[in-house]
Each structure stands twice: as C-alpha cells, then as structure tokens.
Amino acid sequence: MTTYLIQNPFSPNIPQKPTRDGYGSGICKAAKKNPNIVVLCTDLTESTRNLDFKKQFPNQFIQMGVHEQLLAALGAGMALAGKIPFITSYAMFCPGRAWEQVRTNICLNDVNVKIIGSHAGVSVGPDGATHQAIEDIAILRPIPNITIISPCDAIEAEKATIAISKTTGPCYLRLAREKSPVFTTARTPFKIGKAEIFRNGTDVAIIACGPLVHRALQAAEILEKKGISALVLNSHTIKPLDEQTVLSVAKKCGAVVTVEEHQITGGLGGAVAEFLAKTFPVPMEFVGVPNVFGESGEPNELVEKFGMGAQSIAQAAVKALKRNQN
C-alpha cells in the first residue's frame, strides 16, 4: 500500500463522506481566492452541496430553477464575459439533459465552464433508473476540449474542485450522492491528467475511478490471499487519460481490469482499451454496469447486484490473469 493513503483503509471505522461534500468545501475555498467564480444551480442547492457557497457568496450565486439547458447556455455566456461558472445539477440532467448545450455552447466555443454532475452512478439508490447517470462519461468523452474527472473520495473531490477552478477550459467533475470511505489524505498527490498508483503489484493492474477505487483496493487484498499481486491505479482523470502511466502498468503486469460505476461501454474502460489496442494489447476485463438500466435499491446492494463489488473485481482480475497465462 502506498504511504500517502490513510494507515488502515479497510478499518470498519473508516470515515465516510459523499464526494459531493468535497466539492462543497472546495468551491468555497476556491471562491475565497477568486472573485470571478460564480455558481449556477438548478433548484438543488443543498443536494449539490452549494448551500455554504450561497451563504458565503450570495452575490456570486444564481438559482436557475429547473432549466438545465439554460444553465449550460448561461454558463457559457458568463464565461465569455470573464466569469468562471460552476454549473451544478444532477449528472442525469447536466450533462444529460443539457448535452447539446454542453457540446455546442461550452465545448465548441472552448469556454471556461465547470460542469458539476452530482448523483452519478447506480449508488444514487432509491431514486432509480431515471436519476442514475451511468452514461454520462460516454456522452462527454468524444467531445473535444473537455476534461473529465471522477474523484475517488471527498478529499480528492475537494482537490479536484480547486484544481479545475485554476484550469482554463471546459471541465466535468463527476460526483456521488452516497457516502463512501475517505481513504486519501491531504498528502495524497492530485494533478489533473496524472493517475496515481495506490498499490503496487506485478500480476494484474486494476485501473479504477471514483469511489470504486476503494473496492479495487479491497479486491487487491482478496487477490493477495490467493497469491496474486494486484496493482491498483487511481485514474481519476478519464480525459485526458494518463497514457504514460496506463502503458507502464500494462507492460508491468500484462493484464488489466478497469473498474467504474458507469456503463462498461464508453467510459474509463473504453478509454483504456482504445489506447492499449494501439500501443500494447493485453488481456482485459471490464467491471461496470453491463449495458442495462439501473433500478431502485440500497446503494451498496445495487453496486453488488451490477457486479461492481470487491469480489466481482477480484474475479475479473483472475479471468484477465488466466488469459494472460494461456
């Protein structure tokens, strides 16, 4: 285990927070240093963790009502006027409902808008399939100019929020509703576009993003008991992909598993596979939602149901490793 994670990331008493909380603290810290930051919200101030920002910076907060397409278009206009808009909603509705405005108004014009998509993945839970954004990375990744980030815990989400406030150009920050383990620290490195090895290994590389990085670490523990050495790479930035590090771990291990709370098509797994197919093809397995819609349920139960739990990740790693040995 790397030295810059907490001492015992598998403790039953590990602190838990949703990644959206990290955005909420990060946006306030960023705005204290940059008065050009504005937040636009679609009638979801508390859910998207903008309440503290609204209280601290009332003149930099705009309540849009339920108008996601206008949210994106107005954000683009404010960016052209020199502001740094953070447009916030549930990921299902922005970028989901507002996709064309994100593509044309924001990305085609390459304006400095930050898209904050909360409640992504099946871990939204009881809200069900209508509110579970599991295609959001796939609909954004082909669009030029955009950066896509899925932080692994609340601390990394805060760092990512501050980092994108200092970065010019369209960015999408993917956040979760449900609490998840906080296992990084203030010392854990974070740089946009730079993946971090959270656990070294030699047999199989598990490349993960979002809160499922913690389950990938749990899977590596399971594999260690079977005599399998698993490397875990936190690929928080999906676009631009850290191709140098992905290539390095693929060459080192010879087998790769990707893990994401997203459809297995078009997300992190697709990005890794497209790159390795051109540079260093290796046996791969993909852990994610298997081309079905989500459903209502408890968050952890849904993660397990759709095959994204630690045991499922470990099983995928064994499959990839066996193919590498054949």
Tokens matching residue 256? 């790769």
Residues of the chain with CATH 3.40.50.920: 196-325
**pLDDT value at residue 324:** 76
Nearest of 106, 36, 100 to residue 77 by alpha carbon = 106
Answer yes or no: are the C-beta atoms of 21 and 9 closer than 8 Å.
Answer: no
For residue 198, pLDDT over 90 is answered with yes
Overall average pLDDT of the 218-229 stretch: 97
The CA distance from 87 to 73, in Å, is 10
Q: Measuring CA to CA, how many Å separate 71 from each of 39, 48, 81, 118?
A: 10, 14, 15, 15
Whether residue 187 has pLDDT greater than 90: yes
Residue 86 has, within 13 A of its CA and on its CB side, a CA count of 35
* Coil, helix or strand at residue 46: coil
The two most distant CA atoms of the chain are separated, in Å, by 63
Percent with pLDDT over 90 in the chain: 97
What integer pLDDT is reported at residue 112 of this predicted model?
98
| C-alpha span between 224 and 243 (Å, rounded) | 27
* Average pLDDT estimate for 111-124: 97
Residue 116 in contact with residue 75, Cβ under 8 Å?
no
pLDDT interval class at 326 (50, 70, 90):
low
Binned at pLDDT 50, 70 and 90, residue 323 comes out as confident
Active-site positions read: 68
As a whole number, the mean pLDDT across the chain is: 97
At 1, the pLDDT band (50, 70, 90 cuts) reads low
pLDDT tens profile 60-72: 999 999 999 999 9
> What CATH number has the domain spanning 16-181?
3.40.50.970
Domain boundaries for CATH 3.40.50.970 within the chain? 16-181
* pLDDT band, very low/low/confident/very high, at 3 (cuts 50, 70, 90): low
- Reduce the DSSP state of residue 61 to 3 states and report it: strand
Please give the torsion angle defined by the CA atoms of residues 162, 148, 68 and 264, in that order, rounded to the nearest 10 degrees: -140
Rounded CA gap, 159 and 179, in Å?
18
CA dihedral 302, 303, 306, 311 (to 10 degrees): -130
Q: What is the pLDDT of residue 325?
A: 74
Q: Position of tokens 């064994």?
A: 318
Please compute the mean of the pLDDT values over residues 142-148 and round it to a whole number. Answer: 98
pLDDT at site 278: 97
Nearest CA among 13, 1, 3 for reference residue 182: 13
Structure tokens at 273: 């596979």
Report the CATH architecture of 196-325.
3-Layer(aba) Sandwich (3.40)
Q: Give per-residue pLDDT as tens, 274-318.
A: 999 999 999 999 999 999 999 999 999 999 999 999 999 999 999
Does the pLDDT value for residue 37 go beyond 90?
yes
**Do residues 51 and 58 lie in contact, with contact meaning Cβ atoms separated by under 8 Å?**
no
